[in-house]
Structure 1
Amino acid sequence: MSIWRRISDFITTTAVDAFSSIIEAVRTAFEGDPETRRRVAFSIAMIALSAKMAKADGIVSQAEVNAFHDIFHVPEQYQDQVTRLYNLAKQDVAGYEAYATQLASLCGSGHRNCQMLEDVLDGLFHIAKADGALHDKELTFLGTVAEIFALDEEKFDRVLARHVGRGQADPYLVLGLARNVNFETARKQYRALVRENHPDMLIARGVPEEFIAIANQRIAAINAAWEQVEKDLKAYERV
């Protein structure tokens, strides 16, 4: 069943008037179905934090709206329910820190699907950079969310590196490599990252199929970084 159908049915049958209530309702409604709960939790995390981040720099640009829809391909029949969720999150007096904390617990921070929280952060970066720049307030927002998600500085820097402008990203940082790495070690790391970030792996840890644009963009950044590192290391070994 489509994740949007799941969310639509959930919203239609759940009487809530605040976003914090929705989070707790998800925990209860899908208690016996952890796979669906992870998928719903991911979707709601993206909607809620996207709404809060849109207000981080005080300006919601059309580019950011378009980026939101790059990730959220919502069928027309479910758009009203998604819009309701977005507006509830945007209007709620609770700060984004409270949402991130609740959602980290719901998604499973510290457990086997903690990687899914990095996927949430990746999606937020995609939206934040859509207007051509990552503003200071947006970076503060993203950094705080990463801390609440228990993602360390190294992981945050790797996500950040994937999203900086083409030609500015540090390919070694994107791949998590030391500068003095040898070719075979670098290639093993590259191949491991490709396996880890394959769309099937994201789906296995709770990212709905409807959000696989995140995986495709991540793989593209990893491939671009490897192309540069491979060239550098082969040139170094020929010296």
Structure 2
Amino acid sequence: MSIWTRISDALSALASGEPLSAVFDRLRTPPERSVAFTIAVIALGAKMAKADGLVTRDEVTAFREVFQIAAEDEAQAARVFNLARQDVAGFEDYARKIKAMFDRTEGPLCDLMEGLFHIAMADGTYHPAEDAFLERVADIFGLPDREFRSLRARFVPDAAPDPYSVLGVTPEMTMDDIRSAWKKLVRENHPDALTARGLPEEAVKMAERRMNDINRAWEEISKGKAA
């Protein structure tokens, strides 16, 4: 059974007039979390698109890149997107329900934020409304500020990414501590670890870019420290 069939089943279980956000109260156990993760990224992405007032083809393409949406599944993805946009509940309500759904586990919430950054940057522009939206979502998720800054440093090309921010470390830390932080990120972002956190297979591929960024940051720091 594909994830989109399972998403269809979750949407069909909604009572008449019940908002999309109600699904997050029901998808708490590990088998359903991949469904919940996909719905969460699309739903918050829809709310974010509403925040900057535009839904571009690039943003739609970004959803397809994250989830590898086949032609036959596009209707289900569009249904989730439209339900979220039409829901009177604000994005903060969605973010709180999603946080509760993942039992305040930081890993899946960081993964979800990464998907949102990918969508935000799809059109090549990081709108101030998107920044405010993402910062507020991260705050509701309880993510440390360093985690948010690390994500923004990797995705927003307003300047060359600061390798220390990417690893969530500071130049004042010892090389051993920086190396430990790098190794921890590598372990946490292994495909097996991502699958265990409940990411759908369609979203695990985001880790390839993440691992490249992490290893590039470590290489830059280690060369600089050795110089």
Normalised by the size of structure 1, how large is the TM-score?
0.86
Matches within 5 A, 1:34-45: 34-45=29-40
> Residue 178 of structure 1 aligns to a residue in which SS?
coil
Q: Indicate whether 1:211 and 2:203 are aligned.
A: yes
* 1:122 alignment partner in structure 2: 114
Which of 89, 96, 100 is the matching residue for 1:94? 89
Q: Indicate whether 1:104 and 2:87 are aligned.
A: no
Query: Hey, what's the Cα distance between the residues in 1 that align with 2:58 and 2:75?
Result: 21
Query: Hey, what's the Cα distance between the residues in 1 that align with 2:220 and 2:31?
Result: 39
> Cα offset for 1:167?
5.9
* 1:69 alignment partner in structure 2: 64
Gaps of 5+ in 1: none
Higher mean displacement: 4-13 or 206-215 = 4-13
> Does structure 2 conserve the Cα–Cα contact (< 8 Å) formed by 1:46 and 1:120?
yes
Query: Hey, what's the Cα distance between the residues in 2 that align with 1:16 and 1:219?
Result: 43
> Does structure 1 conserve the Cα–Cα contact (< 8 Å) formed by 2:14 and 2:22?
no
Which of 133, 139, 145 is the matching residue for 2:131? 139
Higher mean displacement: 157-166 or 126-135 = 157-166
> Does structure 2 conserve the Cα–Cα contact (< 8 Å) formed by 1:27 and 1:37?
no
Which of 76, 92, 106 is the matching residue for 1:81? 76
Runs (4+) of structure 1 moved beyond 6 Å?
none
* 2:143 alignment partner in structure 1: 151
Give the number of the structure whose alpha-carbon radius of gyration is greater. 1
> Does structure 2 conserve the Cα–Cα contact (< 8 Å) formed by 1:49 and 1:99?
yes
> Cα offset for 1:199?
1.8
**Backbone CA RMSD of aligned residues:** 2.0
> Does structure 2 conserve the Cα–Cα contact (< 8 Å) formed by 1:26 and 1:37?
no
Query: Hey, what's the Cα distance between the residues in 1 that align with 2:54 and 2:30?
Result: 36
> Cα offset for 1:25?
4.0
* 2:22 alignment partner in structure 1: 24
Aligned-pair identity in percent equals 44
> Cα offset for 1:182?
3.4
> Residue 74 of structure 1 aligns to a residue in which SS?
coil
Tell me which amino acid in the other structure corresponds to 1:147.
D
Which of 197, 209, 214 is the matching residue for 1:222? 214
* 1:5 alignment partner in structure 2: 5
> Does structure 2 conserve the Cα–Cα contact (< 8 Å) formed by 1:3 and 1:210?
no
Normalised by the size of structure 2, how large is the TM-score?
0.91
> Cα offset for 1:43?
1.1
> Residue 131 of structure 1 aligns to a residue in which SS?
coil
Higher mean displacement: 163-172 or 222-231 = 163-172
CA displacement, residues 169-218 of structure 1 (integer Å, 9 cap, x when unaligned): 10011112221333333223212211111121111011111111221121
> Cα offset for 1:24?
2.7
Query: Hey, what's the Cα distance between the residues in 1 that align with 2:23 and 2:51?
Result: 27
Higher mean displacement: 8-17 or 83-92 = 8-17
Gaps of 5+ in 2: none
> Cα offset for 1:3?
1.9
